[in-house]
Amino acid sequence: MDLHKNKMETKMKFKKFVSSGIVAALTAGAFLSTSALAQKAWPNKSITLVVPFAAGGPTDSVARLIAVPMGQALGQTVVVENVNGAGGTIASTKVARAAPDGYTIYLHHMGMATANALYDKLPYDPMQDFEYIGQVADVPMVLLGKKDLPPNNFKELEAYIRANGSKVTMANAGPGAVSQLCGLLFQSRMGVKLTNIPYKGTGPALTDLLGGQVDLLCDQTTQTIPYIKDGRVKAYGTTTLKRLPAIPNVPTLDEQGLKGFEVKVWHGMYTPKGVPKPILDKLNAALKKALNTPDVKKRLEDANIDIVSPDKMTPNGLKNHLDAEINKWGPIIRKANIPD
Ligand code: MLT
């Protein structure tokens, strides 16, 4: 009797084991095909393009310019979300922690590399926590002054800031922003300390420069060319080694005595780590298509922005460049003694 009972129990356990195995196998199969289907169907809703600075600024403008044609290429709307603060590091943290489903993408500039040296401890690792879609564009910068700042050229500016020191105010978009990097490299090279005023982006900083509330700003050319041309701001020098075709009368800082002063703001597009490769490939193809749209090309050219070459517009092109830039800027920032 007991023997029979034991046999029955063993049989039932075996049946249970086999059927739970079948359920597990079926579940795994169903999961695999669901995730494969999800990738195939991607994108089936709008995609968020995170921008780490305020609306109306240079990064935001580049993002909005490419969001529309990228959305057209993908068949879904690409919605820009501005996540401001801490020189871009709040947005980078948010993207690093977002779901790796391809519905969060990220446009950031070289701050992705420089923040590493500016902050003691970042809550994300630029080389580990992201997938790379490709480089986007390189944007030059110009050292600008408010319209009624007394100096009319770089030589006069030099004398003015030596005479007035910390009474001179300089706007920036916080530690990790290129406006801060450019402004502090400038002060380091000049051996002066001005009063640095942080904003949530150079969009609002430029508004204050135009309104005369702040004296100086080192900004990208994305929005500034028309204001330079019509004299609403003063341009003291470009951060390029060659003069810019759109403003040929503005000398470089290099030719005016700051030898080798060069800050060219490269941009890259990222996703959180773990986005499946087929989705990354589609994003890369959409980015390439967007940057080759005649209207986008023309608008970038008007702002003296260079679209990168096709070899840089790739995941490896971006990853290798980011790695090289982290290594390049670390020693420069430490030598310039730029504070947090
Ligand atoms: C912005 O979009 O506001 C700028 O890129 C900020 C900066 O890095 O200076």
Mutational test site, ligand 1, from 49, 59, 60, 265, max ligand atoms within 8 Å of CB: 59
Average pLDDT over residues 20-34: 46
Mutational test site, ligand 1, from 144, 170, 180, 220, max ligand atoms within 8 Å of CB: 220
Q: Atom 2, ligand 1: which residue's CA is nearest?
A: 59
Ranges of beta strands (E only) in 97-247 are 104-109, 130-139, 141-146, 169-172, 195-198, 216-220, 233-238
Residue 278 CA, ligand 1 centroid: distance in Å: 31
At 72-96, the pLDDT tens digits run: 999 999 999 999 988 899 999 999 9
Q: Atom 9, ligand 1: which residue's CA is nearest?
A: 179
Cβ < 6 A, ligand 1 pocket: 53-54, 57-60, 109, 111, 173, 177-179, 201-203
Mutational test site, ligand 1, from 179, 224, 239, max ligand atoms within 8 Å of CB: 179
pLDDT band for position 173 (50/70/90)?
A: very high
Q: How many residues does the structure list for the chain? A: 340
At 228-245, the pLDDT tens digits run: 999 999 999 999 999 999
pLDDT score recorded for residue 215: 98
Q: What is the mean pLDDT of the chain?
A: 89
DSSP reduced 3-state for 170: strand
**Cα-Cα-Cα-Cα dihedral sign, residues 241, 139, 217, 299:** positive
Mutational test site, ligand 1, from 109, 209, 223, 264, max ligand atoms within 8 Å of CB: 109
Does position 339 have pLDDT exceeding 80, yes or no?
no
| Whole-number Cα distances in Å, 319 to 63, 113, 130, 140, 323 | 20, 11, 10, 21, 6
Which of ligand 1's atoms lies nearest the C-alpha of 218? Answer: 9
Residue 171 phi/psi, 5-degree rounding, is -85, 155
- Provide the b/e sequence for 98-127 (b: ≥16 CB within 10 Å): beebbbbbbbbbbbbbbbbbbeeebebebe
Residue 100 CA, ligand 1 centroid: distance in Å: 26
Residue 319 CA, ligand 1 centroid: distance in Å: 21
pLDDT score recorded for residue 317: 97
In single-letter form, the type of residue at position 254 comes to D
Average pLDDT over residues 203-211: 97
pLDDT band for position 120 (50/70/90)?
A: confident
pLDDT score recorded for residue 334: 82
pLDDT band for position 38 (50/70/90)?
A: low
Q: Atom 7, ligand 1: which residue's CA is nearest?
A: 177
Q: Atom 8, ligand 1: which residue's CA is nearest?
A: 177
Tokens of 102: 């391809």
Does position 327 have pLDDT exceeding 70, yes or no?
yes
Which of ligand 1's atoms lies nearest the C-alpha of 202? Answer: 3
pLDDT score recorded for residue 332: 85
Q: Atom 5, ligand 1: which residue's CA is nearest?
A: 59
pLDDT score recorded for residue 6: 47
Residue 183 CA, ligand 1 centroid: distance in Å: 12
Mutational test site, ligand 1, from 110, 139, 178, max ligand atoms within 8 Å of CB: 178
pLDDT score recorded for residue 67: 97
Residue 180 phi/psi, 5-degree rounding, is -70, -45
pLDDT band for position 182 (50/70/90)?
A: very high
* Sheet with strand 233-238: strands edge to edge: 195-198, 169-172, 216-220, 141-146, 233-238
